[in-house]
Amino acid sequence: MAIVYAVGVGPGDPELLTRKAERILRSVDVILAPVSNPSEASVALGTIREFIDESRQEIIVRQFPMTSDRAVLMPAWQGAADLIAAHAEAGRSVAFITIGDPLFYSTFIYLLRILREQWPQLPIEIVPGISSINAAAAEAALPLVEGDEKMVVIPATAGIDQIKTALATYETVVLLKVKSIYSEIVKLLRAAGREQTTIFVERVGSPRQKVLTDFDEITAHSPDYLSLMIIK
Ligand X SMILES: C[S@@+](CC[C@H](N)C(=O)[O-])C[C@H]1O[C@@H](n2cnc3c(N)ncnc32)[C@H](O)[C@@H]1O
Sign of the alpha-carbon torsion through 137, 106, 65, 21: positive
Nearer to ligand X among residue 93 and residue 227 (C-beta): 227
Q: Which of 171, 169, 105, 127 is nearest to 24 (CA)?
A: 127
For 12-41, b/e burial (b = at least 16 CB within 10 A) is bbeebbbeebbebbeebbbbbbbbeeeeee
Stretch that binds ligand X, among 19-27, 86-94, 191-199, 222-230 (CB under 6 A): 222-230
The reply to whether 186 sits near ligand X by the rule CB under 6 A is: no
Closest approach of ligand X to the CB of residue 34, in Å: 10
Q: Does 106 bind ligand X (CB under 6 A)?
A: yes
Q: Does 87 bind ligand X (CB under 6 A)?
A: no
Cα torsion 165, 171, 175, 181: sign: positive
* 8 A C-beta contact, residue 201 and residue 189: no
Q: How far is the CB of 14 from ligand X (least distance, A)?
A: 13
Q: Return the H-helix or E-strand segment holding 112.
A: helix 108-118
Q: Residues near 153 by Cβ (< 8 Å), separated by ≥ 6?
A: 133, 174, 176
With contacts defined by CB under 6 A, name the span among 64-72, 137-145, 196-204, 211-219 that binds ligand X: 196-204
Counting contacts by CB under 6 A, is residue 201 touching ligand X?
Answer: yes
Q: Which window, 26-34, 104-112, 182-190, 213-221, contacts ligand X (CB under 6 A)? A: 104-112
Region binding ligand X by CB under 6 A among candidate stretches 56-64, 93-101, 119-127, 190-198:
93-101
Binding residue for ligand X, selected from 42, 47, 93, 132, defined by CB under 6 A: 132
DSSP 8-state assignment for residue 232: -
Sites of contact with ligand X (CB under 6 A): 11-12, 98-101, 104-106, 131-132, 136, 176-177, 201-205, 225-228
